[in-house]
A and B are shown apart, each in its own frame.
Chain A
Amino acid sequence: SYVLTQPPSVSVAPGQTARITCGGNNIGSKSVHWYQQKPGQAPVLVVYDDSDRPSGIPERFSGSNSGNTATLTISRVEAGDEADYYCQVWDSQGVFGGGTKLTVL
């Protein structure tokens, strides 16, 4: 089965840029989707199809995907961005990465 690998944690100071990676074999050939989940809440889609943003998601959230790594980039990080982030792809079935906890210092 297809495996997505995310770093367990990423820390960044407010106003800086956070980059969260999602590794998978030739992931660049797949569409990657990213979800944000805050404690006690359902996930929220923040980026889909590698780099598109749903309505209402700030432009600070962007994505890229090439080779064996997809990346979610959050610019000008705010305290409210502190959350768990999950990548997802479709590989005959849905696959989630293990999740990355973003800490805003």
Chain B
Amino acid sequence: QVQLVQSGAEVKKPGASVKVSCKASGYTFTSYGISWVRQAPGQGLEWMGWISAYNGNTNYAQKLQGRVTMTTDTSTSTAYMELRSLRSDDTAVYYCARDMRYSSSVPSYYWGQGTLVTVSS
């Protein structure tokens, strides 16, 4: 069965960076892309970006351009999302999610359990 297991909760200070991992299993990792979605406390879903696990191509949300980097390690079937220059409004639960279909970055069908990132001085 397909599983996406994310790394644990993080507490960071403003200005720091965070790197969240998402380990995939149960399917051929390079056949599907991974999206990252975040949700601030009590707020809605925010699409952050997408990475092709096949060739590493990325598509980032305009508001995060320059602060976010998404990568994959095909040897370990793991996707990573790094967010830099953290601010208090980056406090959120961060989800990774796998594409439902090959060659289409939406919709997302399988989701990780979420990683809470708290930014606080």
Residues of A within 8 A of B (CB): 1, 31, 33, 35, 37, 42-45, 48, 54, 84, 86, 88-90, 92-99
Q: Is the interface of A mostly helix, strand, loop or mixed?
A: strand
Among candidates A94, A96, A97, residue contacting B105 with C-beta atoms closer than 8 Å: A94
Q: Is B61 among interface residues, defined by CB-CB distance under 8 A? A: yes
Closest to B96 in A: A42
- Bin chain B's interface residue count: 20 to 34
22 residue pairs bridging A and B, Cβ less than 8 Å apart? A1-B62, A31-B106, A37-B45, A42-B97, A42-B111, A42-B113, A43-B37, A43-B97, A45-B108, A54-B100, A84-B44, A86-B44, A88-B47, A88-B106, A88-B107, A90-B106, A93-B50, A93-B61, A94-B61, A96-B45, A96-B47, A98-B44
Return chain B residues, CB-CB under 8 Å to A88.
Answer: 45, 47, 106-107
Return chain B residues, CB-CB under 8 Å to A31.
Answer: 106
What total of A-B pairs shows CB separation below 8 Å? 63
User: Is B45 a contact partner of A43 (Cβ separation < 8 A)?
Assistant: yes
Return chain A residues, CB-CB under 8 Å to B62.
Answer: 1, 93
Return chain B residues, CB-CB under 8 Å to A99.
Answer: 44-45
Shortest CB distance A57–B (Å): 11
Return chain A residues, CB-CB under 8 Å to B113.
Answer: 42
Known: A33-B106, A99-B44. A42 touches B114 (CB 8 A): yes
User: Is A89 a contact partner of B106 (Cβ separation < 8 A)?
Assistant: yes
Return chain B residues, CB-CB under 8 Å to A1.
Answer: 62
Return chain A residues, CB-CB under 8 Å to B105.
Answer: 90, 94
